[in-house]
Structure 1
Amino acid sequence: MSSRRKFFTMTIICAFSLTCMIFLKSFNKKNSSFSAKFRLQCVSKRKVGFLKIHKCASSTIQNIFLRHAYLNNINVAVPPEEYNNYLGNPHHFEAKLLKNSPGHYGGFEMFLLHTRWDHQEVSKVLGPNTFYVTILRHPVDLFESLFAYGHLDKFYGGSLVEFIEHLERNNITDVQRMRLNGRYGWNQISWDFGLMPRDFARPKKIKDFIRSVEENFHLVMIAEQIEKSLVILKSSLCWSIEDVTSLKLNERKAGNKEALSKRQRETLEEWLSADMMIYKYFLRRFEEKVSEFDSVYLDQEVEKLKKANELVQRNCVLGLNKHDEISNLKSRPYSDEVIVVRVRDVSFFSLLQGNKYEKNNMAYMYFFISGGHIPPTFVANNVKPSTLSHIKQFVVTNCSKERPGSIVTKTLKNGILIP
């Protein structure tokens, strides 16, 4: 090859390489711009199906969803007031159970109840493009908590330690397989998911069931990793950190938690084998999902969430009470084993049910926060929507503008905040 041809060839190669570099640089710049634009165009999801599994921090998660729904005018599937927080448990959920639910006329966008899950029936309620999520907890810790919360010692006729001793002697009775109120007991996770008890000891059936759960649920959170779970949840829903702030609900008194030995825990794990299979599988899947996130980003978001929760705690909590110190029976939790947190907040569940008591409670909060000024639109036994909108935004988002610690002397009277 002549030197002139070599020079010509090299010139073409260099020119081509330079053109490629310019193109790639331009492409990366455009791609970066596209990514930023995509993030800015991220649309907040409104339709959510949440399976509220017992004793898995599910009340805390439910309250996050209810608060978001109330602030964003999202239509939530709530049962008539007399059904409280349950619909379909101990029987599997059926869409027809919501026939007389408040708000069904507009089409439901969120389902957040305790139930025995039937995905096909819940899908009838929520329709397409729904994000399905739930949260799990280690089955031994769940059962220990459930045992105390539900006073299962009275139901089973002995303490948790005595119950475990029966299991170790392989003396499993029909009573131990029974469920308190038809709802609480053996393999609670499996039960709430809708698995039939006859399949609790059939590994093949459980594996098939796990596959169906994975197909139906977009995210299975883990209670032991609650902050990471909530960061992943808010990213999946295109929500903000403020949207997933929370206070712990139905938290037990510290002295009432049973410390189990390694052997006792292993005994319970064997007895709760169906739950253990489900939990271990989705714990592994959750850890895989965590690994998909940039670790620096995830850690930063977790820290942001912790600080936001500290701010909520400082500005919103009035104090802690024992169960019997709350005079209004409607304000008491189900179990006397839990701490009652008095907050500048209301039951969003009751508000969404149209509970007039809660609306009045909210008006009293406004009276308390504003230094005694009663809004002109307040009417006895009723609060006009314009006032509610103003109050809910102030109370739910900010709770209080007062200095931290300046509200601890305020009290509740008959469940209503008073100055």
Structure 2
Amino acid sequence: MGKCTNVRLIVNLYFMLTFVGFIIAVMYISDTRQVKESFPGLFLRKIQAYRDIFALKYTPCPRPKSKLVFIKTYKTASTTVSAMLMRYGYYNNLSFVLPLKSPFFSRVKPFNRNMMKEAVPPLPSSNGSYDVHAIHVPFNKSEFAAVIHNATYVTIIRHPVSQFESTFGFYKAATRIKSLRIDAMNSSRDPLSVFLLDPKRYYNTLRGTLKTVLRNRQIFDFGLETKDFDNDTKVGQRIDAAAKEFDLVMISEYFDESLLLLRRLLCWEFDDILYISQNKRPGQLRFSLDDWKSKQILEWNKADYKLYKHFNTTFWRKVAEYGSGFQDDLRKLRHMLDEVRSDCLDEGRHKIAYQHRRNVTMLKKNATSRCKIMNWDADVGTTVLRKRQMKNNSSSGL
């Protein structure tokens, strides 16, 4: 009898200590803000936080991922993402898929492995394999998979209204389309309004880069052919395929939130997702938007709008799966970004670059090397990485 009593005491003591340890662990790992709350309310809130944080749907990966294909889209904050990825690759000696001379392989042809004939060789330490792609070229997953094995696939999109207005301004459509320029001069409307009155008329006169970016450019970069823009079945099929092909589609309007999802997906540190915004347009290349313009833009970019609505929904599902720690992590990231701007940027100064299409924020005169690397845009990053890969291969006798 006495032996049974002792066993019960030991078992009860074990469960009591386990319960107390559980409460302490939960209160430590979840929200640590001082909240004046009754014990039952506090306890229930901590239990919910515990369930969210350790939900089975999230399993931390054992090590940071370094095999990555990022599809760089147009006027979506993709330059800022690309520069961030290049910085990470620079610090971690990763090999990038880069053309020998051009900043991109093609604006119109989907990626294929034959393009690698004109690519910079990988670093000797990579054993002939590549790690990261982070420049412009339309998507083709099977061809990318042949070049970067076991990669994580990521891209970013933006609401079609703001994306199209940004593209229209950045590529100076108002002055480069001669008939539009003349019609705008003879009209009381601004050039964007004039274009949207009859977009097909102006679009059908275009050639080259300008034509590729002025309609449904986002879903085009996802792999949809221009002849299928108005084919609802083909549009839906491409979106469904992309949902299976991409591990994460970030949303430009929720940039910091997107980076938290990227960080978790890649098992990176907060320092790895810090950034300085790149490629901002000056005011003279911006156009005001109203309800009529917005409606016309959505009609003209109907396929892009379907793409955006689909991935906006999946984006918030991923945020919900992140758990209750999301808002705390978002505050932490934004605090760190404030420190970067304070340490690095002279925000009262800027220079105009890229044919007067970019306002580049200047660094402080005493900026550290870390600030200088963080301020790379994609063009600078591409140049640095290309030179490094060429130099290392040259010195190794390849």
Match of 2:85 among 55, 60, 65: 65
Partners of 1:179 and 1:116 in 2: how far apart? 18
Match of 1:113 among 132, 135, 150: 135
Cα deviation, residue 101, structure 1: 2.2
Aligned residues: 329
What CA deviation, in whole Å up to 9, does each residue of 1:199-250 have, x standing for no partner? 1011111111001101110000000000100011101111111100001100
Residues 137-156 of structure 1 aligned to structure 2 (within 5 Å): 137-156=158-177
For 1:239, the equivalent position in structure 2 comes to 268
Partners of 1:262 and 1:177 in 2: how far apart? 27
Residues 9-408 of structure 1 aligned to structure 2 (within 5 Å): 42-81=62-101, 83-84=102-103, 86-104=104-122, 106-128=128-150, 130-156=151-177, 157-158=179-180, 161-165=190-194, 167-168=196-197, 172-173=200-201, 175-176=203-204, 178=206, 180-181=208-209, 183-254=212-283, 256-295=285-324, 297-318=325-346, 320-323=349-352, 332-333=353-354, 335-343=355-363, 344-345=372-373, 346=376, 347-354=380-387
Amino acid at match of 1:301: D
Is the contact between residue 152 and residue 180 of structure 1 (CA under 8 Å) also seen in structure 2? no
Cα deviation, residue 322, structure 1: 3.2
Partners of 1:186 and 1:40 in 2: how far apart? 40
Partners of 1:24 and 1:224 in 2: how far apart? 44
Cα deviation, residue 187, structure 1: 0.8
For 1:414, the equivalent position in structure 2 comes to none
Q: Secondary structure at the match of 1:134?
A: strand
Q: Secondary structure at the match of 1:351?
A: helix
Is the contact between residue 350 and residue 361 of structure 2 (CA under 8 Å) also seen in structure 1? yes
For 2:32, the equivalent position in structure 1 comes to none
Cα deviation, residue 348, structure 1: 2.3
Partners of 2:59 and 2:234 in 1: how far apart? 41
Is the contact between residue 95 and residue 131 of structure 2 (CA under 8 Å) also seen in structure 1? yes
Partners of 2:60 and 2:294 in 1: how far apart? 48
1:176 to 1:305, Cα distance in 2 relative to 1, 3 A: farther
1:264 to 1:355, Cα distance in 2 relative to 1, 3 A: same
Cα deviation, residue 337, structure 1: 2.5
Q: Secondary structure at the match of 2:75?
A: coil
What CA deviation, in whole Å up to 9, does each residue of 1:365-412 have, x standing for no partner? xxxxxxxxxxxxxxxxx9xx9xxxxxxxxxxxxxxxxxxxxxxxxxxx
1:322 to 1:26, Cα distance in 2 relative to 1, 3 A: closer
Query: Which runs of 5 or more residues in structure 1 are unaligned?
Result: 1-10, 324-331, 360-381, 386-419
Partners of 1:237 and 1:176 in 2: how far apart? 42
Q: Secondary structure at the match of 1:198?
A: helix
Identical aligned residues as a percent:
24
Partners of 1:190 and 1:276 in 2: how far apart? 9
Is the contact between residue 192 and residue 287 of structure 2 (CA under 8 Å) also seen in structure 1? no
What CA deviation, in whole Å up to 9, does each residue of 1:325-344 have, x standing for no partner? xxxxxxx43x4122023343
Is the contact between residue 97 and residue 132 of structure 2 (CA under 8 Å) also seen in structure 1? yes
Q: Secondary structure at the match of 2:362?
A: strand
Is the contact between residue 187 and residue 272 of structure 1 (CA under 8 Å) also seen in structure 2? yes
Partners of 1:126 and 1:139 in 2: how far apart? 30
Partners of 1:191 and 1:151 in 2: how far apart? 21
Q: Secondary structure at the match of 1:339?
A: strand
- Provide the alpha-carbon RMSD of the alignment: 3.5
Is the contact between residue 61 and residue 267 of structure 2 (CA under 8 Å) also seen in structure 1? no
Is the contact between residue 77 and residue 111 of structure 1 (CA under 8 Å) also seen in structure 2? yes
Partners of 1:176 and 1:240 in 2: how far apart? 47
Cα deviation, residue 300, structure 1: 1.4
Cα deviation, residue 315, structure 1: 2.0
Is the contact between residue 280 and residue 358 of structure 2 (CA under 8 Å) also seen in structure 1? yes
Q: Secondary structure at the match of 1:239?
A: coil
